[in-house]
A and B are shown apart, each in its own frame.
Chain A
Amino acid sequence: MSKVSVIIPTHNRPALLPQAVESARAAGTNVEIIVVDDASTDATAEVCRSLPDIRYVRVERNQGVAGARNIGIVSSSGEYVAFLDDDDLRLPGSLDLQAAALDGNPQAGFVCGAMIMADQNYQPTGEVVRPKPSSGDLFWELLELEFPVMPLCTLIRKECFPRIGLLNRHVSSIDDWDIFTRIAEVYPVVVIPEPVGLYRQPTPFSDQGSSARAFQLNRVARHQRNLLKLPRAADASPARRRAARKRMVNRISENLIWTAAAKYLPKLQLKPAFANLSVALKLDPLSIVRPGAYEKLAKNLMVKTGLIDRQRV
């Protein structure tokens, strides 16, 4: 029985998959690699057959990422589970590092590390996303989206799933936030400062501008209402719940406004700018006059004009 199961859901991306698989293999000493082929219609099956020593699970009816991850969990045998997207990479030794962290904290539900951002050709952009808080009970931080957890940076104790349930297929693309919040409700979280994964950014947003992010954040805000029904949040005082709601809504709308102002409007990308502003105003009508959004915008301008150093932001 392997210690760690790496679950790689894939859909029609055979060119990138082998790299992800190899990075997972190099990331730990006792690793079981499960490729969940989510109803690919191209050469994915053949590519997987040529990869040695993986468990290939074919899904005939497309299940989406969360559904494919669940199928991976069903087929896995490891004590710990890691999710890896087919276009991301795990850093060498990172799984061993995180498994040791979970071994050392038998109470913890999952461990989260830092993430290196990279461009389309896996070249690091120099940006490293580090988890801000320290280890412990991070339920409210996750619920308020203060601490975004990427599946790429985490290693999860498989025991968690029977206690709190599997991933929710019906909140596609925010199923990760949903599951990590639900785990953090019951278990403490371990945070380590070391980078553990390399995140390949999807098609650059800067050229095209997309409204997708605004809509996704809108769904995040809507789904928070469901997460606020989790027993621990439901048992908290109404003031605590209201504060959690308000903090997240403010954070999202500020972010949307400053993105619109800093990225979309200068390039006259009116559609995404409009999407951002309308979602922000819908969530919080007063956000447009709050200083939070402009603080970040001002900082951004100062960085661009060279007034302050990037590292200080």
Chain B
Amino acid sequence: MPRISVIITTHNRPARLPAAISSARNAADDVEIIVVDDASCDGTAAVCKSIPDIKYVRVDRNQAVAGARNIGLITSSGEYITFLDDDDVRLPNSLDEQIEVLAQHPQAAFVYGQAIPETENGEHGLGYPAVCPQGDIFWQLLTRNFIPCGSVVFRRSVVPAIGLLDDEIPRIDDWDFWVRIAELYPAVAIETPVIIWRQSLPASTQGSSNTVDIIAKSSRHFRRAFRNLPRFARASRRVQRRAWRDFSTNVAEHLAWELFSALRNAAFGNAFQSARTLLSLHPSGLMRLVRWMNTRTIGILIKSSIDSDNIAEAKAQFKRFRADMPRQ
């Protein structure tokens, strides 16, 4: 039985897959690599056949990322599990380091670390999240998903307790999974980079309605699912209200950014969508926004509007600033 199973889900992206696989192999000694090919219709199968020593699982009916990860779970046999995206890269020995940390904390269900964003030109940013909370992170995790999915190593034994990933909530399924684990178990973290996030496009140049979409989905999921988690339901009204307030403030910040960048790109449809989501999220969302508009943020926004080439950098800075914000 291998110590750790790396589940790599892939869909029509054979170009970067070999790099992801070899990075996973170099990240741990005793590793089982499972490539779940989610109904790719290109050269993915051929590429995988040419790579020795991997478990290749072909899915015939597209299951989306969460479904493919679940299929990876049923085919895996390792004591520890980690997910890796097909275009991300694991840093050497990072899995072994994380397993060691997890072994020292028998109560903890998972260990996570930082991710380094990499732009198309190969430039590396700073590790995200800058501060990695540890221990009981349930309430912090409800506020926002600060855990880079690929950086998590979790115990296989927690899966039966909390269930598999939910495939009805694409793109926030990992957040939902970590929240459900953190509801019952403490987490540990190492504040060093363990993966590299490769960004195919500087995300901010297109006024991405995608982000707005995810935000709308997140707030729906918060209201429908997270509020019904036993631990949330048992908490006092004050704690519940604070959790929702933190979450909605955080989301409002995101939406504000989307709104500004959409306006800058003259994408008025997206801007309207952001504004509408912002208002529907919370009637007093705009008031929150005003309070949050402290000098630093305004500075960043002004800078980005003066220097139009710098919008990607401004967003990175903005993200960094948000990541550094103190959390209780």
CB <8 Å contact, B161 and A163: no
Most chain A CB within a 10 A radius of its CB, from B58, B59, B163, B230: B163
CB <8 Å contact, B162 and A67: no
A58 part of interface (Cβ distance < 8 Å): yes
CB <8 Å contact, B59 and A162: yes
Which of B67, B161, B180 touches A166 (beta carbons < 8 Å)? B67
Question: How far does the Cβ of B121 sit from chain A's closest Cβ, in whole Å?
Answer: 38
Question: How far does the Cβ of B159 sit from chain A's closest Cβ, in whole Å?
Answer: 6
Question: How far does the Cβ of A37 sit from chain B's closest Cβ, in whole Å?
Answer: 9
CB <8 Å contact, A166 and B71: yes
| CA gap between A57 and B159 in the complex, in Å | 10
CB <8 Å contact, A58 and B71: no
A59 part of interface (Cβ distance < 8 Å): yes
Contacts of B59 in A (CB 8 A): 162-165
CB <8 Å contact, A58 and B160: yes
Count of A interface residues, CB-CB < 8 Å: 26
| CA gap between A67 and B61 in the complex, in Å | 19
Stretch at the interface among A71-79, A82-90, A202-210, A243-251: A71-79
CB <8 Å contact, B164 and A58: no
| CA gap between A185 and B36 in the complex, in Å | 21
CB <8 Å contact, A162 and B61: no
Contacts of A67 in B (CB 8 A): 163-164
Contacts of B74 in A (CB 8 A): 73-74, 161-162, 166
Contacts of A186 in B (CB 8 A): 60-61
Question: How far does the Cβ of A279 sit from chain B's closest Cβ, in whole Å?
Answer: 25
CB <8 Å contact, B168 and A61: no
Given A59-B161, A59-B163, A67-B164, A163 contacting B58 (CB threshold 8 A): yes
Nearest B-chain residue to A160, judged by Cβ: B60
Given A163-B60, A165-B59, A182-B61, A70 contacting B164 (CB threshold 8 A): yes
Which of B57, B61, B63, B71 touches A231 (beta carbons < 8 Å)? B61
CB <8 Å contact, A60 and B164: no
CB <8 Å contact, B160 and A71: yes
CB <8 Å contact, B164 and A61: no
Contacts of B58 in A (CB 8 A): 162-163
| CA gap between A161 and B70 in the complex, in Å | 10
Residues B31-72 near A (CB distance < 8 A): 36, 57-61, 63, 67, 70-71
CB <8 Å contact, B70 and A166: yes
CB <8 Å contact, A166 and B164: yes
Contact with A along B182-201 (1 / 0, CB 8 A): 01100000000000000000
A36 part of interface (Cβ distance < 8 Å): yes
Contact with A along B215-233 (1 / 0, CB 8 A): 0000000000000011000
B265 part of interface (Cβ distance < 8 Å): no
Most chain B CB within a 10 A radius of its CB, from A73, A164, A165, A182: A165
CB <8 Å contact, B71 and A60: no
Contact with B along A143-174 (1 / 0, CB 8 A): 00000000000000000011111100110000
CB <8 Å contact, A61 and B67: no
Count of B interface residues, CB-CB < 8 Å: 26
Which of A59, A74, A164 touches B73 (beta carbons < 8 Å)? A74
Question: How far does the Cβ of B24 sit from chain A's closest Cβ, in whole Å?
Answer: 19
CB <8 Å contact, B164 and A164: no
Contacts of B23 in A (CB 8 A): none
B75 part of interface (Cβ distance < 8 Å): yes
Contacts of A165 in B (CB 8 A): 59, 61, 63, 67, 70-71
Contacts of A58 in B (CB 8 A): 160-161
| CA gap between A70 and B70 in the complex, in Å | 9
Given A162-B57, A165-B59, A166-B74, A63 contacting B163 (CB threshold 8 A): yes
| CA gap between A165 and B159 in the complex, in Å | 17
Nearest B-chain residue to A170, judged by Cβ: B168
Contacts of A161 in B (CB 8 A): 71, 74
Nearest A-chain residue to B60, judged by Cβ: A163
CB <8 Å contact, B67 and A59: no
CB <8 Å contact, B230 and A162: no
CB <8 Å contact, B160 and A74: yes
| CA gap between A71 and B162 in the complex, in Å | 9
CB <8 Å contact, B71 and A162: yes
CB <8 Å contact, B73 and A60: no
Given A71-B164, A170-B168, A186-B60, A61 contacting B180 (CB threshold 8 A): yes
A230 part of interface (Cβ distance < 8 Å): yes
Question: How far does the Cβ of A247 sit from chain B's closest Cβ, in whole Å?
Answer: 24
| CA gap between A166 and B61 in the complex, in Å | 11
Contact with A along B153-168 (1 / 0, CB 8 A): 0000001111110101
Nearest A-chain residue to B61, judged by Cβ: A164
| CA gap between A71 and B70 in the complex, in Å | 10
Contacts of A63 in B (CB 8 A): 163
Given A60-B184, A61-B180, A182-B61, A162 contacting B162 (CB threshold 8 A): no
Question: How far does the Cβ of B157 sit from chain A's closest Cβ, in whole Å?
Answer: 10
Contacts of A170 in B (CB 8 A): 168
| CA gap between A135 and B161 in the complex, in Å | 38
| CA gap between A29 and B30 in the complex, in Å | 34
Question: How far does the Cβ of B235 sit from chain A's closest Cβ, in whole Å?
Answer: 16
| CA gap between A251 and B230 in the complex, in Å | 42
CB <8 Å contact, B168 and A71: no
Contact with A along B63-96 (1 / 0, CB 8 A): 1000100110111000000000000000000000
CB <8 Å contact, A230 and B162: no
CB <8 Å contact, B164 and A74: yes
Contact with B along A52-64 (1 / 0, CB 8 A): 0000011111010
Contacts of B166 in A (CB 8 A): 169
Beyond A57-B160, A74-B160, A165-B67, 20 additional contacts (C-beta under 8 Å) are: A36-B160, A59-B160, A59-B163, A60-B184, A61-B163, A61-B184, A67-B163, A70-B70, A70-B164, A71-B163, A71-B164, A75-B160, A162-B59, A163-B60, A164-B60, A165-B61, A165-B70, A166-B71, A182-B61, A231-B61
